[in-house]
Structure 1
Amino acid sequence: MAAQVREFRLPDLGEGLTGAEIVRWMVEVGEVVAVDQPVVEVETAKAMVEVPCPYGGVVTARFGAEGTEVPVGAPLLTVAVGETGGAAAGGTPADGASAAGASPGGADGTPAAEDTEGSGNVLVGYGTARAPARRRRVRPGVPVSAAAVAEPVNGRARDAGEAAAAAGGAGGRVPEPDGGARPERGPEPAEGPVPVISPLVRRLARSNGLDLRELTGSGPDGLILRADVEYALRAAAAQGRTAAATGAPVRDGGGAEVHAGPEPAVREDQTGPGPAVRDGHRIPLKGIRGAVADKLSRSRREIPEATVWVDADATELMRARAAMNAAGEPKISLLALLARICTAALARHPELNSAVDTQAREIVRYDRVHLGFATQTDRGLVVPVVRDAHTRGAEDLTAELSRLTGAARAGTLAPADLTGSTFTLNNYGVFGVDGSTPILNHPEAAMLGVGRIVPRPWAHEGELALRQVVQLTLTFDHRVCDGGTAGGFLRYVADCVERPAVLLRTL
């Protein structure tokens, strides 16, 4: 019995994520894979993830090169289930091309049957079950065979417009302004919602006056990607420049003549090439760094934040920690002690363990403390979350903080480890700075910042002495409380830092 070919698509990532970037392929075409073996490492807006394949067999094709962004539901690879040998005859195909005799469809051109369920196992929060099927947009008047739709083109399935162009022999492709190629536009789509990969792409088109119904999406099932919108904007700009240089009239979609004025200025949200960069280069805001940028921008737009700070003598706290660690038990970290102080302060001032529901115009006050802490990684700033921090002691907090920090730097945090925080602790003292006015971690209402602890002259018991001094900063949402509450919270934190015995009242 011949081996059946199974197509594995990028599964639903949860947490509202719509796609991911391929960072590293972990298997080659022709390689034998086991059920639930990680086959590709992707970067989402939340974390780096190794995606397991629910099928066992021989990899017959890979879809997408490293660095490519793929939407949820897009094909990742195909596996010949039941095969135990190497690749099919004909050598190893390039990424996006099926091996000879191992295309996703059967001999008659119809797609091979797929399992309705995967292995059922879960890795870092992602299941390997088959992603929900997408509805295909059917353009009127364009007959498309199943074989034409199923045939991969450049690592993806053809949409209806491309299949019709291929069947008609018209070439079906027109040059891009930068020398590449794009599918020729098909007939006008039917009335109804236009499938777009994300609201950001829809907003980009709307802000530039682009009608999405005039585009042919290059994503799965005709899905319009950001690259499709950017291409259309570049083509429109190139047409305007050409008309302005030659004096030829420019016509709109209805054939009416319009005047080609000077090239418009590049918008802040425009992602096309824009003016030439003489000294420097462009770095895309995507993945984790892009998600952080979006979240910080939203925080600054929506939250009226204020900041208070105080210097505190941390000498006694450092001595207490040294005494704890001299007992031969597991070491206690300074960050864990500060986290314990935060949970005690939030028990006294629960207003700061909250968020604002802007639509309902309500303050949501949380009963549990899920403590986020800022961690710098090679891929950007992330905020892992310690669940139920108010129930943990210093030793337990130390272990959990260490585990999450290691996973963050290795890029193996699950999305659940990066969401749901209610208060954030930011230890920027590790960078050798004394103070900061951080941006709140939206939608939280407060963040405690801790600077470096350094020896400084300090008035102690009526005398000038050299003490270990730290600057503590509290940034808070002024909608949830006034300065009195914020000052009371920060003063209690400073008192615990200066006299750790104060914490005994809450143990």
Structure 2
Amino acid sequence: MAVREFALPDLGEGLTESELVAWKVAVGDTVQLNQIIAEVETAKALVELPAPYDGRVSRLFVEPGVTVAVGEPLVAFEVEAGETPEAEPPAAPEDGGGQRPAPEVDKREPTLVGYGARPESGARPARRARPGLAIGRGAPVAPAAPVALAERPRATPPVRKFAREHGIDLASVVGSGERGLITRGDIQSFVEHAAEETTAAASAGSREKRIPIRGVRKATAEAMVRSAFGAPQATVFLTVDATPTLELVARLRTQPEFADARPGLLAVVAKALLIGIRRTPEVNSRWDEAANEIVQADYVHLGIAAATPRGLMVPVIRDADAMALAAISGAIRQLAETARAGRTAPADLSGGTITITNVGVFGVDAGTPILTPGEAAILAVGAVRRQPWEHDGGIALRDVLTLALTFDHRIVDGEQASRFLADVGRILADPASALALL
């Protein structure tokens, strides 16, 4: 038998760390290749990790709730000696003593699909050493020299958990251990010092709750700050009589070809947006600061903002401009369900070229949405209100909604934004007018 460690793999999209949410196995369990062994939460999604080997779990290095950097060990397995690939002995000439050099064993870990390319060298991913960390059931591993990841505060998993329970950011704590290792005592001292400074707020009658900023909330906050202060944003509004669109939706749902898709208002808005982009492609662009260029996409990767228990997420429908209405409707429903379940892959949360956010589902009439970083426009759809409206020369109760388009004023002029929004509104007020715009 041989012991093999499995480290947190590169999950892509520039993610450097993840929080272990739950183990699906325990020490002593026998697992098969690709069996789900753990769930980790990145800044973008909840990801299931499959087993890289057939074998028996001999050690779990990390407790649920602990944040782990890419390359740090998660679990160790006992596997049959021949289970992992070994390199062929090099064809080296014999030396004077007739001895060949000892063959080098390929120490690479199996590469899981979607977790990045295998390293070209046989070296394991660099990771921080953990004093006294045992591999499997062997002897403790001596602390290694600091590497690039050492800029992340150094602490053992139990200490990280202790800090999290007290709402302490490890970056604010000075470690007293070897090479700056943060100890439990350091956290306790920090807590006591903070309590002395905020005695009144920390009393038994405190009415405040502190929530650590991490995961999706942290990623969303950083993205919104980059967007708000990185691009000059303006918003235009348009109120539309959408009664004809809602009547169209009702008719489509009775037709066999739409039985599974069951299109709703949002799907029609998406289709109207895609048609509008053909006349005003500037809204489907991005600003390339490094190249000093505006990049205009000949495709539309449509982001659909979704409120989930983990926070705001924007899954992307790729090449939405090539889809029919039924396909768009099905894609919206599938992406929303996956996002709310926390199962959206990180790759599906990036690369969008324009976004729709449906604030109307919360009963809101309108708002000024903030751009998704890297995009030139975002369309907010307000709530449908049954209200008096001018119709056929008189006043009638109609289904009215408000559209709000926020745009990057470096890329899109006010005239272009207004024309685009007017085209979308025109289609919602008279779906047949789409024929004139195609």
TM-score category (smaller protein)? 0.7 to 0.9
| Amino acid corresponding to residue 108 of structure 2 in structure 1 | T
* Correspondence for 1:419: 350
Q: Contact 2:71–2:127 at 8 Å: present in 1 too?
A: no
What is the deviation of 1:150? 5.8
* Correspondence for 2:232: 304
* Correspondence for 1:183: none
Q: CA 1:346 to 1:132, structure 2 compared with 1: closer, same or farther past 3 Å? A: farther
Q: Using the alignment, how far apart are the partners of 1:334 and 1:419 within structure 2? A: 24
What is the deviation of 1:506? 5.0
1:133 aligns with 2:124: yes
| Amino acid corresponding to residue 28 of structure 1 in structure 2 | A
Q: Contact 1:54–1:128 at 8 Å: present in 2 too?
A: no
What stretches of structure 2 of length at least 5 have no aligned partner?
Answer: 82-104, 158-167
* Correspondence for 1:315: 243
Q: CA 1:472 to 1:7, structure 2 compared with 1: closer, same or farther past 3 Å? A: same
| Amino acid corresponding to residue 456 of structure 1 in structure 2 | Q
Q: Using the alignment, how far apart are the partners of 1:8 and 1:298 within structure 2? A: 35
**Of 376, 399, 410, the match for 1:479:** 410
Q: Contact 1:7–1:114 at 8 Å: present in 2 too?
A: no
**Of 227, 230, 236, the match for 2:172:** 230
Q: Using the alignment, how far apart are the partners of 1:416 and 1:65 within structure 2? A: 26
Q: CA 1:381 to 1:27, structure 2 compared with 1: closer, same or farther past 3 Å? A: same
C-alpha deviations, 1:179-234, integer Å up to 9, x for none? xxxxxxxxxx8xxxx62466xx6xxxxxxxxxxxxx9x4589xxxxx966432189
Q: CA 1:357 to 1:335, structure 2 compared with 1: closer, same or farther past 3 Å? A: same
What is the deviation of 1:160? 4.1
Matches within 5 A, 1:137-148: none
What is the deviation of 1:362? 1.9
* Correspondence for 1:451: 382
DSSP-derived class of the 1:472 partner: strand
Q: Using the alignment, how far apart are the partners of 1:418 and 1:274 within structure 2? A: 42
* Correspondence for 1:11: 9
Q: CA 1:315 to 1:29, structure 2 compared with 1: closer, same or farther past 3 Å? A: same
Q: Using the alignment, how far apart are the partners of 2:285 and 2:344 within structure 1? A: 25
1:326 aligns with 2:254: yes
* Correspondence for 1:116: 108
| Amino acid corresponding to residue 388 of structure 2 in structure 1 | P
DSSP-derived class of the 1:341 partner: helix
Q: Contact 2:72–2:127 at 8 Å: present in 1 too?
A: no
1:195 aligns with 2:151: no
TM-score, reference length from structure 2: 0.79
What is the deviation of 1:64? 1.1
What stretches of structure 1 of length at least 5 have no aligned partner?
Answer: 84-112, 139-146, 162-188, 202-214, 221-225, 243-262, 267-271
Q: CA 1:233 to 1:484, structure 2 compared with 1: closer, same or farther past 3 Å? A: farther
What is the deviation of 1:149? 7.4
Aligned residues: 383
Q: Using the alignment, how far apart are the partners of 1:319 and 1:234 within structure 2? A: 69
Q: CA 1:228 to 1:493, structure 2 compared with 1: closer, same or farther past 3 Å? A: closer
What is the deviation of 1:38? 1.2
C-alpha deviations, 1:41-71, integer Å up to 9, x for none? 0000110000112111110100111100000
What is the deviation of 1:431? 0.6
Q: CA 1:496 to 1:234, structure 2 compared with 1: closer, same or farther past 3 Å? A: farther
Q: Using the alignment, how far apart are the partners of 2:108 and 2:378 within structure 1? A: 46
**Of 19, 43, 46, the match for 2:44:** 46
Which structure's relative contact order is higher, taking Cα pairs within 8 Å and 6+ residues apart? 2
What is the deviation of 1:121? 4.8
* Correspondence for 1:76: 74
Segment of structure 1 superposing worse, 278-287 or 47-56? 278-287
Segment of structure 1 superposing worse, 281-290 or 392-401? 281-290
